[in-house]
Structure 1
């Protein structure tokens, strides 16, 4: 039975007046706290705490978003300084004191730009603030874009940078990102791929400190974002998760500075997949839903990619209903896909990729919730037969998962045959994700100690992943 809402006293404090106004206008729009939170990019719990007058410091950008969503003509924005401004100023002073103690000379303080105004309102194009912000980005470079830790992680390498950005540097970044993505898909993200990727991002991140003509600003940040995504993906595959998160975060900031919704969506898709992989599916779901903000600006292929990420998060939670709904949404979006509408770097997301990605969500349902494994097996089989040699890692992982399904809930002898085919490919990869999937297959094979085919597969897996 739902709990009655706490009675509010708008005269008790500025915070409770603010909260009462928020609740009154939310209910007038017939919005739940969760629904309003989604629209203004905060949690429903935060909305409820603000309404009760007990949330410590609502950011002003949240007040501005509330005005936009609820049509209050700037009411919450005007009230914000009186209600939260003093607390916010005190917090900023305290934070500034902490930063001063750890800041090194020569490193600019962080600035977060945003398509959606994540941390502050985006100035109108052509405004004085907009011009100053662009100049600051040109002068401040990487440290102006990303947290201080990122500035340390991606400090410019010894390779000299040009004095001024030209189309040549941007073309080099794009071409290298394409080549690196190809190597990562064929050989995995470890070994030499990871070494080259890290050095490339070091040098490329330094380019955002170089003077850039205004007409190249978008292209530069979009190219750097694209490379950041590829480098993050290789680090993710190599289980360098901290580096992967830093690269993805850097890529997201660059995508937002470029105003590129597609790159932004791709970054959140990878953050979602990584979170699911490391056992944080709730975080993965949040990332995927952030990527779907303003999905009308995304192509159907990209919508399918993000709904698939949602499905994988729900699947890892063992949530059957929401997983199946998300898979259905992904399938529906993909049915409308037209490759000519997608950026060139999204061409990899074809029928084989979609089948394999959705199969992962269904695999988790089969393992965690006892669902029919045939749905996942059929999709993994489609992925195996659809992937070309350019995507050996994806093909090998789909083969391994298919073998695991057969070993767990099918014919162990058939599973062993598929497993050996997977091993033939995985043995040539430097992918820790692929190796972990093999370990899972080996664990399933161990449950059939009297079937020689399963025993032989398990022994070969043990020898391969320990090599």
Structure 2
């Protein structure tokens, strides 16, 4: 017979009370812990541990659980007591708690997942050491690599969001530890790299406040480490996020800042930042400047060599170059009336060239390509491109990908009488609801 669930004591703390209410709502909805976990992209074991107050939750997850259980805001309202209790404990402490990165409420908890792959740190089982060793720095870099791989494969709103902040809080704790002078630059660079990866993932999940703070923190770490390559990466993501959020002028400023002392950057890094400039100019309706930035990106990317970049720049290959410049050309075609030929050619080359490790990038470029053809060309030609992109969007948890397919659906409206286009719109609606 199934083992009877452990009785929960809701008198210990507000958090314990919240965990018991979570279990109560789960039982009311006749959901197993595994079933609820699937709805919020956590394991059943993790749900049970949150209920038992053995693993920390945060405000963002509390909202998702409230929605998943259709609790009508009950869990959200109760979570305010948890936050008030935590604030009171912090204020009443005899000595102040160690400073933590200010990344919004969602970053104040340490999340972990069972069965973490090698390289990821489980914050529930390890505190930062008192003295930094080379192995600690290597572990941070391994964590950044694994998270980046997950982000590219699954999108920032999926499994990645369930494991991020504990990794950074552990790494951030190392900055307060005793560090040999010879390791200090490497430590700041590693923590900065992890923050930038997490910021990029938060951007993809539309957690924009967190993304901005993480990326700015990553930039500060890069500057402390005197790492111009890492600094360029942080400013590239800040630029892309600003442009996506409708602030192209701010995005252009970040991109231009990244190109300060461009002589210290590799050709790929320079091309990456010129692409951000091109996208900003395109959004501002300045086709001349956008085309000039695309041309400059092509020019500096041409002599790039494979062995001169940091390992984490390996994503910027020929496919990425054509995808990024193709996105700028896409905006020129739709916003400024430029010929779509350049964008179609570049996006096609990107879609055909992306490796399987970059599902999201291929899906984003494929969706843009289908949207452009639907808007300016033959809808019958756009259909197979759109369906291929949707196959990959269906594998992701990416708010950016969802917004792009919704824009594709809008372009389909002009062909409302076409049965195949109507079927595509129905498929898009189903994909967005999942």
Specify the TM-score bucket, using the shorter chain as the normaliser: 0.7 to 0.9
Distance 2:262 2:332 in 1: 27
Do residues 414 (structure 1) and 416 (structure 2) align?
Answer: no
Do residues 396 (structure 1) and 363 (structure 2) align?
Answer: yes
Give the equivalent residue in structure 1 for 2:169. 202
Distance 1:218 1:167 in 2: 12
Distance apart, 1:342 and its partner CA: 0.7
Choose 154-163 or 228-237, whichever is displaced more.
154-163
CA change 1:321–1:253 in 2 (3 A) is same
Do residues 244 (structure 1) and 211 (structure 2) align?
Answer: yes
Distance apart, 1:105 and its partner CA: 8.4
Do residues 304 (structure 1) and 271 (structure 2) align?
Answer: yes
Give the equivalent residue in structure 1 for 2:352. 385
Distance apart, 1:339 and its partner CA: 1.9
Distance 1:185 1:287 in 2: 23
Give the equivalent residue in structure 1 for 2:134. 167
- Unaligned 5+ runs, structure 1: 1-101, 109-140
Distance 2:271 2:250 in 1: 19
Bigger Cα Rg: 1
Give the equivalent residue in structure 2 for 1:442. 409
Q: Calculate the aligned-residue CA RMSD, in Å.
A: 2.1
Distance apart, 1:198 and its partner CA: 2.0
Q: 1:226 aligns with which of 189, 193, 197?
A: 193
Contact 1:197 1:231 in 2 (8 A): yes
Write the deviation string for residues 300-332 of structure 1: whole angstroms up to 9, x where unpaired.
Answer: 110000000000101111110000000001110
Distance 1:432 1:203 in 2: 27
> How high is the TM-score relative to the length of structure 2?
0.73
CA change 1:107–1:290 in 2 (3 A) is farther
Contact 1:155 1:205 in 2 (8 A): no
Do residues 291 (structure 1) and 258 (structure 2) align?
Answer: yes
Contact 2:192 2:217 in 1 (8 A): yes
CA change 1:325–1:220 in 2 (3 A) is same
CA change 1:193–1:321 in 2 (3 A) is same
Write the deviation string for residues 168-218 of structure 1: whole angstroms up to 9, x where unpaired.
Answer: 100101111111111110111112211212221122111111111111001
CA change 1:217–1:382 in 2 (3 A) is same
Give the equivalent residue in structure 2 for 1:332. 299
Distance apart, 1:152 and its partner CA: 10
Distance 1:105 1:335 in 2: 60
Distance 2:370 2:420 in 1: 13
Contact 1:236 1:274 in 2 (8 A): yes
Runs (4 or more) in structure 1 with deviation over 3 Å come to: 104-108, 148-159
Q: 1:455 aligns with which of 410, 415, 422?
A: 422
Q: 1:275 aligns with which of 242, 253, 275?
A: 242
Write the deviation string for residues 15-69 of structure 1: whole angstroms up to 9, x where unpaired.
Answer: xxxxxxxxxxxxxxxxxxxxxxxxxxxxxxxxxxxxxxxxxxxxxxxxxxxxxxx
Do residues 373 (structure 1) and 358 (structure 2) align?
Answer: no
Write the deviation string for residues 255-284 of structure 1: whole angstroms up to 9, x where unpaired.
Answer: 011010000010000000000001000000
Give the equivalent residue in structure 2 for 1:3. none
Distance 1:321 1:234 in 2: 32
Contact 2:104 2:210 in 1 (8 A): no
Give the equivalent residue in structure 2 for 1:259. 226
| Count of paired positions | 331
- Unaligned 5+ runs, structure 2: 1-90, 111-122
Q: 2:159 aligns with which of 167, 192, 198?
A: 192
Contact 1:232 1:244 in 2 (8 A): yes
Write the deviation string for residues 121-150 of structure 1: whole angstroms up to 9, x where unpaired.
Answer: xxxxxxxxxxxxxxxxxxxx866xx7x667
Contact 2:158 2:396 in 1 (8 A): no
Contact 2:344 2:369 in 1 (8 A): yes
